[in-house]
Structure 1
Amino acid sequence: MAKSLHESLRELARLLGELNFQFPREGVAAGTLRDRTVRRLTDHLAARGRDLDAPLVAVLVGSTGVGKTTILNSLVGEIGPTSVQRPTTLTPVLVHHPDDELWLAADRILGGFDKIRLDADEASAEGSHSERPVLQVKTSEKLRPGIFLIDTPDVDSYVETNRHLALQLLDAADLWIFVTTAQRYAEPQGIDLLKAAARRKVAVGVVLNRVGHGSLLDSKTGFSEKIQQAGLGDTPIFAITEGQLQGGMLPDADVETLKKWLDGLAGDALLRTATARQALFGSLAEVLETSRKLASIFAAEEEQSQRAQTALAELAASQKSAGEHCWLETPILEGEPVSRFNHYAQAIFEEDSAEDSWIRKRLNWRRSLYGEKLSLRPGVEAAKRALDAAQESFMASIPRTIHPRLEDLDLEPSQGEGLGEDWKTVSLYSQWHRALSGAISAKQTADRPWREETPEAIFLALLMELYVAEEQTPVTFLEHYLTSADHEELKTKLRETVAGSVETWAEEVHEAMEKLVPATEDNPAQAKEILKLITELQEQWSQ
Structure 2
Amino acid sequence: MPSRLESALTELRAAVSPVRLPLVLPGAAEKQATVREITSQLDDYVLPRLATIDAPLLAVVGGSTGAGKSTLVNSLVGRRVTAPGVIRPTTRAPVLVHHPLDSRWFIDDRILPGLARSSGAAADSRAIQLVPEDTIPAGLAILDAPDIDSVVSENRQLAAQLLAAADLWLFVTSAARYADAVPWDFLLSAADRSAAVAVVLDRVPPQAMQEVPAHLGQMMTDRGLGESPLFAVPETTVDATGLLPASAIQPIRSWLASLARDSASRAEVVHRTLDGAIAALVRRAPTLASAVDDQLEAVRQLRDEVDHSYAEAVRTVGVQTADGTLLRGEVLARWHEFVGTGEFFRALEQKVSWLRDRVVAAFKGEPPGAGNLKVAVESGLEALLREQGDAAAERAEASWQAHSAGRELLQRSPEDLSRSSRDFAVDTARTIRDWQGAVLELVADEGMSKRSRARFLALGVNGVGVALMIVVFAHTGGLVGAEVGVAGGTAVLAQRVLEAVFGDQAVRRLAETAKEELDSRVEALMSQELLRYHRILDGLGLDPEQAVRLREAADGVERARAEGLPRSAGNGEQQLPAGEERRAIEAPTVRQVDLQTGSAEGPNDIVDAEIVEERPASQRGELR
The counterpart of 1:496, out of the listed 504, 509, 516, is: 516
| Residue of structure 1 in register with 2:149 after alignment | 156
Match status 1:390 vs 2:384: yes
Counterpart-to-counterpart distance in 2, 1:237 and 1:305: 47
- 1:15 is displaced (CA, Å) by 0.9
CA deviation after TM superposition for structure 1 residue 252, in Å: 2.9
1:9 and 1:395, CA in 2 relative to 1: closer, same or farther beyond 3 A? Answer: same
Which residue of structure 1 lines up, in the alignment, with residue 80 of structure 2?
78
* Letter of the structure 1 residue corresponding to residue 122 of structure 2: S
Which residue of structure 1 lines up, in the alignment, with residue 109 of structure 2?
A: 107
How far apart, in 2, do the equivalents of 1:195 and 1:319 lie? 51
Q: Give, in whole Å, the separation in 2 of the partners of 1:464 and 1:158.
A: 77
Q: Distance in 1 between matches of 2:297 and 2:329?
A: 49
Q: Is the 8 A contact 1:75 1:255 kept in 2?
A: yes
Match of 2:7 among 7, 11, 17: 11
Deviation at 1:402, TM superposition (A): 5.0
**Aligned positions of 1:186-205 closer than 5 A:** 186-205=179-198
Q: CA deviation at 1:175?
A: 0.9
SS of equivalent to 1:448: helix
Question: Structure 1 CA distance, aligned partners of 2:314 and 2:550?
Answer: 42
What letter corresponds to residue 237 of structure 1 in structure 2?
A: L
Describe how 1:303-322 pairs up with structure 2 within 5 A.
Answer: 320=311
1:325 partnered with 2:316: yes
Shift of 1:149: 1.3
Unaligned runs of 5+ residues in structure 2 are: 345-367, 441-461, 565-576, 581-624
Seen in structure 2, the aligned counterparts of structure 1 residues 117 and 485 have a Cα distance that, compared at 3 Å, is farther
CA deviations 1:67-86 (Å, max 9, x no partner) are 32333334333334445554
> Deviation of residue 334 (structure 1)?
6.0
Contact 2:107 2:117 in 1 (8 A): no
Residues 56, 349 of structure 1: alpha-carbon distance in 2 compared, 3 angstrom cutoff: same
Question: Alignment partner for residue 178 of structure 1, among 171, 176, 181?
Answer: 171
Provide, for residues 62-110 of structure 1, a one-character-per-residue CA deviation record: whole Å limited to 9, x for no partner. Answer: 22332323333343333344455543334322222222211124434x1
Deviates more, 1:177-186 or 1:32-41: 32-41
Task: Decide which of 248, 252, 258 is 2:245's aligned counterpart.
Answer: 252
- Is the radius of gyration larger for structure 1 or structure 2? 2
- The normalised TM-score by structure 1 is 0.71
The aligned residue for residue 91 of structure 1 is 93
Instruction: Give me the whole-angstrom Cα distance separating, in 2, the residues matched to 1:445 and 1:274.
Output: 74
Q: Does the CA contact (< 8 Å) of 1:450 and 1:497 recur in 2?
A: no
Against the structure 1 CA distance between its residues 347 and 198, is the aligned structure 2 distance closer, same or farther, given a 3 Å change threshold?
closer
Q: What SS does structure 2 have at the residue aligned with 1:214? A: helix
For residues 184 and 62 of structure 2, what CA distance do their matches in structure 1 show? Answer: 12
Shift of 1:342: 5.7
> What does 1:334-373 correspond to in 2, within 5 Å?
none
- 1:165 is aligned to 158
Q: Please, which moves more after superposition, 199-208 or 237-246?
A: 237-246
Change (3 A) 1:445 1:210: farther
1:370 is aligned to none
1:164-183 CA-to-partner distances (Å, cap 9, x unmatched) read 33222222211111111112
Q: Give the deviation of 1:283 after TM superposition.
A: 2.5
Q: Once the two structures are superposed, what CA deviation does each residue of 1:343-365 show, in whole Å capped at 9, x if it has no partner?
A: 77778989xxxxxxxxxxxxxxx
- Pairing 1:226-245 to 2, within 5 Å after superposition: 226-243=219-236
Q: Report deviation, 1:246.
A: 4.9
Distance 2:105 2:194 in 1: 25
Distance 1:126 1:443, change over 3 A: same
In 2, distance between residues paired with 1:504 and 1:145?
A: 74
Of residues 239-248 and 281-290 in structure 1, the stretch that sits farther from structure 2 once superposed is 239-248
**Aligned-CA RMSD value:** 4.9
Q: Deviations over 1:495-521 (max 9, x none)?
A: 234312233246557778499395646
Query: What does 1:284-303 align with in structure 2 at a 5 Å threshold?
Result: 284-291=278-285, 293=286, 297=290
Q: Does 1:267 align with 2:291?
A: no
Q: Give the 3 Å change call, closer, same or farther, for CA 464–442 of structure 1 in structure 2.
A: same
Amino acid at match of 2:315: E
Superposed displacement of residue 58, structure 1: 0.8
Distance 1:156 1:422, change over 3 A: farther
Q: Which residue of 2 aligns with 1:130?
A: none
Q: Following TM superposition, by how much is the alpha carbon of 1:185 offset from its aligned partner in structure 2, in angstroms?
A: 0.8
Matches of 1:231 and 1:523 in 2, distance apart?
Answer: 31
Q: Could you report, residue by residue, the CA deviation over 1:270-316 in whole angstroms, capped at 9, with x for unpaired residues?
A: 3322322322233333333335x269659x95x99799889979986
1:236-288 alpha-carbon deviations (Å, 9 max, x no partner): 33333445555672433443443333333323333322322322233333333
Q: Mapping of 1:435-514 within 5 angstroms?
A: 443-446=424-427, 448-452=430-434, 453-454=436-437, 482-485=497-500, 488=507, 491-492=511-512, 495-505=515-525, 513=534
CA contact 2:82–2:95 (8 Å) conserved in 1 = yes
Residue pair 2:394, 2:418 contacting (<8 A) in 1 also: no
Match of 2:42 in 1: 41
Q: Percent identity?
A: 25
Measure how far apart 1:326 and its partner are: 4.1
Number of residue equivalences: 490
Cα distance in 2 between the residues matched to 1:333 and 1:23: 51
Q: For 2:420 and 2:525, locate their aligned partners in 1 and report how far apart those are by CA, in whole Å.
A: 8
**In 2, Cα distance between the equivalents of 1:107 and 1:81?**
24
Q: Tell me if structure 2 keeps the 8 A contact 1:115–1:137.
A: no
Question: Equivalences for 1:16-31 in 2 at 5 Å?
Answer: 16-19=12-15, 20-21=18-19, 24=22
